Amino acid sequence: MLDIRGLKASYGHIEVLKGIDLRVDEGEIVTMIGSNGAGKSSLLKTISGVVRAGSGEITFKGRNIERWSCAKIVATGISHVPEGRQLFGPLTVFENLQLGAYTRYRRDSKKEIDEDTEFVFEMFPVLKERWKQTAGTLSGGEQQMLAIGRALMSKPQLLLLDEPSMGLAPIIIQNIFAILKDLRKKGLTLLLVEQDAMVALSIADRGYVLQNGQVVMADTSQNLLDNEDVKAIYFGHRDKAH
């Protein structure tokens, strides 16, 4: 579904992606782990068009998208849940969801968009209860649910998620990740950036380890969970036998 080859990107003169190769197959959950500054968020931003690729290719369902606008990328089936939620705080829950469907208003009927709003409310019942409440007054967990719901309103085939557990209580994290697994069962493909490597690898099929803008390891999630170097760096321990 998504194939990235030799991708480079920079912020001014600072190169943040240094030749990334990565793929996501349809129906997978793929995660990227790595320390702060490794390039994880930059990669998601480059895929979604927020950061312009310097060189390399981003292919989505056989089409090169690395020069496309953000709106065209969303319209073609990729939606991005950014780090820190980035909701429209003064707007209501309902208004935020409607803005998530902005690329569809000329293409789809009001009935279809209303049906997808109801789908989001079924996934996140608390949002239905608070549909008139302004986004800025929601709890952190509710805001994360709204950020995911807003992304779902564009009817993506591939969902990019950046640090969905950030700042949330463990029980809320558990709920969010259960919903992500359920979305995969419903046919959505996910590319996940997550600081909590244990949580991310526990729900993913495969994982990539990024360091300094490069992929330094790629394997199945189980193999990464069992890898002693990954344990030492990201889980803070090694097995006692070693």
CATH (domain of 149): 3.40.50.300
Tell me the average pLDDT across 134-151. 95
The reported pLDDT for the residue numbered 84 is 85
Tell me the average pLDDT across 44-56. 97
Q: How many domains does the chain have?
A: 1
Q: Would the pTM count as exceeding 0.85?
A: yes
The reported pLDDT for the residue numbered 241 is 39
* Within-domain flag for 190: yes
* Within-domain flag for 57: no
* Within-domain flag for 2: no
Angle at which helix 93-100 crosses helix 140-152, to 10 degrees, equals 30
* Within-domain flag for 188: yes
**Distance separating alpha carbons of residues 214 and 210, to the nearest angstrom:** 5
* Within-domain flag for 10: no
* Within-domain flag for 136: yes
The reported pLDDT for the residue numbered 237 is 55
The reported pLDDT for the residue numbered 242 is 37
Whole-number Cα distances in Å, 113 to 35, 150, 223: 38, 12, 41
3-state secondary structure of 72: helix
Separate counts of helices (H) and strands (E) for the chain: 10, 10
* Within-domain flag for 3: no
Average pLDDT, the chain: 93
The reported pLDDT for the residue numbered 160 is 98
Residue span of the structural domain in which 104 resides: 26-50+68-235
User: Is the dihedral angle over the CA atoms 57, 208, 188, 172 positive or is it negative?
Assistant: negative
Indicate if the pLDDT at residue 240 is higher than 60: no
* Within-domain flag for 105: yes
